[in-house]
Amino acid sequence: MGHYLTPEQRKEVEEILESKKDQLLRAARQSISEQVNAGEPLPADSIDISTDESLQVTELRLRDREKYLLSKIEKALLRMKTDPEFGYCTECGVEIGYPRLKARPMADLCIDCKEEQEREEKRLPDRRQEEERNSRSFFP
Ligand SMILES: [Zn+2]
């Protein structure tokens, strides 16, 4: 049974994911070097953002929203490599579709299930969600 995505389409979705990831990490590095530049002068080699260790620091410094996005991107990349069901809705199993994946490569739900999920989320009291988010970021 063949996958509805052609290898070329898969490749294209993968490239979109990789470039989104690059963008996020680049933006984070940029904001770190701005912080460094704004603060005390440091020896030029004390921050080497090209090593793996600094990459971890970079990831730690990402803001919550960026962290969330990055984890979605990495989850999608991992699914794409390991899960033969990538590209199918995790809720109902229908094809998510190439145009939707191109526009939203992190999507793991079809449009119908996504809309259903958003309706569910709107029914939850926003205030409680907000409070939970805040306490989570204070006590990770
Ligand atoms: Zn679905």
Domain that holds residue 33: 7-138
Residue 2 lies in a domain: no
Predicted model pTM:
0.67
Residue 119 located in a structural domain? yes
Say how many Å lie between the CA of residue 19 and the centre of ligand 1. 26
Query: How much distance in Å is there from the Cα of 9 to the middle of ligand 1?
Result: 20
Residue 83 belongs to domain with CATH number: 1.20.120.910
Residue 78 has pLDDT above 70, yes or no: yes
Q: Does 73 score more than 80 pLDDT?
A: yes
Q: How far is the CA of 97 from the centre of ligand 1 (A)?
A: 11
Does 1 map to a domain? no
Q: Which two tokens stand for residue 73?
A: 């991107």
Taking only the tens place, the pLDDT of each residue in 52-62 is 566 666 656 66
Phi, psi for residue 95 in degrees, rounded to 5: -65, 130
What mean pLDDT is predicted for residues 74-88?
Answer: 94
Angle at 87 between CA 27 and CA 110, to 5 degrees: 90
Number of domains into which the chain is organized: 1
Q: How far is the CA of 112 from the centre of ligand 1 (A)?
A: 6
> 22-40: per-residue pLDDT in tens?
998 888 788 767 766 776 5
- Give the tens place of pLDDT for each residue, 102-119: 999 999 999 999 999 999
